[in-house]
Structure 1
Amino acid sequence: MTVGGVPDRDSCVLSNLIDRHAAATPDKAFVVLPDGGAVSYARLRAEVRAMARALQDLGVQQGEHVLVWMPNGLDVLRVWFAINYAGAVYVPINTAYRGGILEHVVRNSGARLMIAHGGLAGRLADIDRSALERVVVLGGERPDVPGLDVLGAEALASDGEVKPLSRPVEAWDTQSIIYTSGTTGPSKGVLSSYAHLHAMGTSLAAERDGTPFVGADDRFMVNLPMFHVGGTAPTYAMLACGGSISLLDAFETSTFWQTVEATGTTAVILLGVMASFLMKEPVRPGERDTPLANVIIIPLGAEGVAFRERFGMTTRTLFNMSEVSCPLIAEPNPTVVATCGKPRKGVQLRLVDAHDVEVAPGEIGELVIRTDAPWALNHGYNANPEATAAAWRNGWFHTGDAFRTDADGNYFFVDRFKDAIRRRGENVSSFEVELEVAAHPAVREAAAVAVPSEFGEDDILVAVSLAEGQSLDPADLIAFLKPRMAHFMVPRYVRIVDDLPKTPTRKVEKYLVRQSGLTPDTWDREAAGISIRREKLAG
């Protein structure tokens, strides 16, 4: 139910959802693990309530921020749910953080308490910990961190009942703070309400008209991190509908299909590179005969389009980011490479210039968003009013992403504005270059960046990492690309690397590729005598 367009507490507040499903279907599994273990709704509620009381005994107050620094698994799920059950705010940290980025996030969060894996907590000794006073270690060895009160897992155990909250948790209360990757500056903490995460999760699992394609009988594989919306959104989607999740610590190509079978998984999100890895695996007997029925592939490359034909399930794609709630969704089984779909029900979208003036059809502009329902998007950045004001100007949320549309109304991600390439009078999408390069069978990942040209504007450098056991002659890559893209998009420079530099959330740090520039091992097709010109038309 909704009240004034906002879901009521029973529909979106985490504690209410747990209570409702534990009462209605106590023996039904909410979590299934690859090793065959499972946790029912009733057991989940009991464990979450016990941990919520322990948090209250540690002094956690309603509305307080609690840092969580843990890998995927049952422990982090219980901790997240217990924090929200106690009325507090879940603030997960990427498990790769250390040094300056860790210090920034700890300081920005304003948290007094952290729950961390022992293998991570020792990194706190090397930073200024700001307001942080206490760490509870859950999993691994308990390190000694001078100046911090470091407690063991027993601090999260309790036999007591959850203390009443000062007031009921509302749909618009802050549920979590999830930090962005920080590729263009310090990471920003995205403030998400319960209504926002509910909108994101339910939109993720629905068609453009809002009709769900998963329900109480489905099981959504969570193999993306819980410190990211890739892990939290499908978890919340299945909690909202009374379904279940299969919970993995990470995606593994070699065991993916066995895990699907073992857990009875019916739905999953695959990043484009994951789908590519699976497509490059040898064909297996009976590979179309699995319980997996729905696969969301983001972004949708050529191999993503071919995924449905090979494996026989329904494929989907969409656009999302931590701040929004899946505003663009494609029809099932999309065939237009790189499409993000069309606006879903309940959102308004515009493509605008630097002055927020709408661009002409077919032109590239920044995607700005607003929703019909209150609280269905983020409500700012934690302790960062300047960034909040910049993103939320003129009544629209500004994504910072360049998009274009086609004649059919499909939206296409072009680039982050900072990654735009201008070559020979043409605007080039690094994203579209990367899609075509990654379609080469030997390529695992690609990053296209602008490098200075002796003729002004830009030339294009593509850095590639190779699939396991593969080799690549750059000239062969150019021959592969030439019939697949416009002449001005074909890279001049190719650099083969062991791995592309990544942010802690596994996004490619293009600025590092750009900073490296033309290294001694960079191949130049023009120096190799390969020149690509505009095709002359006869007549």
Structure 2
Amino acid sequence: MTHPDPIKPPQQTVTGVLAAAVKEAPERIFLDFSGIQYSYADIDSASTRLANGLLALGVKQGDRVGTLLDTSVEAILIWFAANKIGAVYVPVNAAYKGEYLRHQFADAGVEVVFVEPDYADRLALIKDELPLVHTVIQRGDAPLAAEGLNLKRFDDILGSEDPVADPNKYSDISMLIYTGGTTGPSKGCIISHNYVCNLSRNAVINGKRTKDDISWSPLPLFHLNALAATVLASAMTFSRGVLYPRFSVSNFWPEIERSGATLANLLGSMLAFVADAPDNEAQKRCFGQLRAIRGSPFPPEVREKWRTRFGVKVTGSNVYGLTEASPVTSLHDDDFPKPGSSGKVDPSFEVRIVDDEDNDVPVGTPGEIIIRPRYPHVMFEGYWGRPEETLRIMKNLWLHSGDIGSIDEDGYFYFVDRKKDYLRRRGENISSFELERAFRGHPDIVDVAIHSVLSESAEDDVKATIVLNGESKMTEAEMCSWCADRVPYFAVPRYIEFRDELPRNPVGRVLKYQLRDEGRTPATWDREDAGFELAKR
């Protein structure tokens, strides 16, 4: 199904969008980080100085520049600076360490990495497995303490303000964004300038953005959402993006009040937490201030709370997408979303719902969602360095999402379920493959399966079902502690269960659907019930 009479979108670059905003509105506030504000001219000037500094370090067009950073203005400057010289931005989840971190930087072939002072030691531990990394640049004023790295301070590498000639075409690569790695190691999605611009423009048009909007987000800058829907979409309208370092229920309304936000982007669990929180004075003063709240999943009862308690007129995103292609479906804020739907097929794409043989299923029948672009460079260019994986997902020249959905007689799209064996917890994609590999590093573990358990917040909780050797005296709490030292905090399972064996089919494949259906059994240990404190670092 396709959108009727689509209009071909413009072809743009990230650097072109920034340049247009600087020309039109240099002194308008572009970005706000907890009250520290930067104009369009500020960001342009600082990113140019950083671009010249990268050139002095030998970074050239096509090279990959990695980051291991928390939310900060430097993260945005690095994106713009790298793109200004034609380099590729590779933001990695700030919680990554060990094999998770090594794999993505090695796979991307990054040569220069920007890092928080607290995270530099993570790089030092794997430096011998990252032979291409020649320079590590540390943000802030902390001592350069990590051993074995060619460490430099961010401020010390800044160059001149001499303009850099823009080398980019709309088809060139802006960034690599890594997938969750559901059936194997995580893969780098090649994101062109035009793809991220098309995604941002969609947020502007469907969200009725204007220069007077202030878009607030606590989402991390290593995900495409904040980069496109908050940062670049703001630049397209010469408006303001507010980036908050870490979501907090208690600080949400004070931040909305302080920033003057008119739009906010949250995740499904955050939406419910705010909706169910007690009243506070800032919340009362902000009634009606937010005209739109975005996020998914957004159940009807939670939407109603946002409308009645907080005076928000537009609730929900009404979109479906994946890193490889987004937004596949969308809806203008003036259009009525059918309950449970996620908009209609976006004009940039064609979508079919098919059976296992790629035959179209009847209208309203669930099937796999497959996608192809109507225009050049509005979806990913493939997986970085993995042509076979790219061909596999592009079977019959259609992108096979691995997700199940349906489209009704009126063209409304409904997401049904995830066909792929991956997990999602509070906005983070978690690779069962990589998490199982981490657990298998424990000498007491004979077998392990990582799978989802439905949580109270309608998202996934993670469970590890483990088979120990006969001599092991390991407790579930000890296993959880061991795991927390080796994987990102968000990947640490909430549930652990020890079993004598895992259920398997006749060819030896673990029956994860059975484990998911069994969920939290009487023998399951719950990290939250046990009061296990997990440091979010």
TM-score, L = length of structure 1? 0.75
Aligned to 1:14: 14
Aligned residues: 448
The one-letter code of the counterpart of 2:245 is D
Point out where structure 1 has 5 or more consecutive residues left out of the alignment: 421-431, 440-444, 452-496, 524-539
Question: Where does residue 322 of structure 2 map in the other structure?
Answer: 321
Q: Could you say which residue in structure 2 is the equivalent of 1:267?
A: 263
Distance 2:488 2:311 in 1: 33
Counterpart CA distance in 2 for 1:90 and 1:254 is 33
Shift of residue 340 of structure 1?
A: 1.5
SS of 1:340's equivalent in the other structure is: coil
1:115-134 to structure 2, matched below 5 A, reads: 115-127=114-126, 128-134=129-135
Shift of 1:45: 1.2
1:403 aligns to what SS in structure 2?
strand
Q: Residue 224 of structure 1 aligns with which residue?
A: 219
CA contact (8 A) 2:463 2:494 kept: yes
1:175 has 2:178 as partner = no
Q: Whose relative contact order is higher, 1 or 2, with alpha carbons under 8 Å and at least 6 apart?
A: 2
C-alpha contact 2:403 2:420 (8 A) present in aligned 1: no
The one-letter code matched in structure 1 to 2:259 is T
Q: For residue 41 of structure 1, what is the aligned residue in structure 2?
A: 40
**8 Å CA contact retained: 1:112, 1:133:** yes
Between 507-516 and 288-297, report the one with greater CA deviation: 507-516
Q: Counterpart amino acid of 2:362? A: A
Q: What does residue range 189-268 of structure 1 map to in structure 2 within 5 Å?
A: 189-207=188-206, 212-234=207-229, 235-268=231-264
Unaligned 5+ residue runs, structure 2? Answer: 1-6, 423-451, 466-479, 498-511, 526-537
Q: 1:238-289, CA deviations, whole angstroms, 9 ceiling, x for partnerless residues? A: 1122222011112211111111111111112121111100111123463562
Structure-2 separation of matches of 1:177 and 1:78:
16
What is the CA deviation profile of residues 173-201 of structure 1, one whole-angstrom value per residue up to 9, with x for unaligned ones?
A: 00000111224321111100010001111
Change (3 A) 1:173 1:34: same
1:301 counterpart residue number: 299
**Identical aligned residues as a percent:** 29
- Conserved? CA contact 2:96–2:487, under 8 Å: no
Q: Classify the secondary structure of the residue corresponding to 1:31.
A: strand
Do the aligned partners of residues 433 and 339 (structure 1) sit closer, same or farther apart at CA in structure 2, a change above 3 Å counting?
Answer: farther
The structural deviation recorded for 1:133 is 1.6
In structure 2, the partner of 1:279 is: 275
Structure 2 distance, partners of 1:101, 1:449, is 19
1:308 CA displacement? 2.1
Q: Contact conserved, 1:33 with 1:247, CA < 8 A, in 2?
A: yes
Q: Is the 8 A contact 1:287 1:311 kept in 2?
A: no
Residue 438 of structure 1: SS of its match in structure 2?
coil
Q: Paired residue for 1:372?
A: 374
Residue 27 of structure 1: aligned partner: 27
Matches within 5 A, 1:100-115: 100-115=99-114
- The residue identity in structure 1 corresponding to 2:388 is E
Q: Deviations over 1:477-533 (max 9, x none)?
A: xxxxxxxxxxxxxxxxxxxx99x999859589799886796654459xxxxxxxxxx
The offset of 1:131, in angstroms, is: 1.6
Shift in Å at residue 396 of structure 1? Answer: 1.6
SS of equivalent residue, structure 1 residue 217? coil
Kept after mapping to 2: 8 A contact 1:299/1:340? no
1:215 counterpart SS class: coil
One-letter code aligned to 2:315: T
In the other structure, the counterpart of 1:484 is: none
Q: Higher mean Cα deviation, 152-161 or 112-121?
A: 152-161
Inter-partner Cα distance in structure 2 for 1:411 and 1:508: 33
Q: What is the CA-CA distance between 1:143 and the residue it aligns to?
A: 4.6
Deviation at 1:448, TM superposition (A): 9.3
In structure 2, distance between residues paired with 1:115 and 1:7: 33
Seen in structure 2, the aligned counterparts of structure 1 residues 396 and 100 have a Cα distance that, compared at 3 Å, is same
Which letter does structure 2 place at the counterpart of 1:55?
Answer: L
SS in structure 1 at match of 2:295: strand
* 8 Å Cα contact 2:98-2:487 kept in structure 1: no
RMSD of aligned alpha carbons? 3.3
For 2:174 and 2:495, locate their aligned partners in 1 and report how far apart those are by CA, in whole Å: 32
Residue by residue over 1:280-333, the C-alpha shift from the partner in whole angstroms, topping out at 9 and shown as x without a partner, is: 112346356253111112122134321223322211322222221212124648
The one-letter amino acid paired with 1:225 is P
Name the amino acid aligned to 2:311: G
Matches within 5 A, 1:378-527: 378-418=380-420, 434=454, 437-438=456-457, 447=461, 520-522=522-524
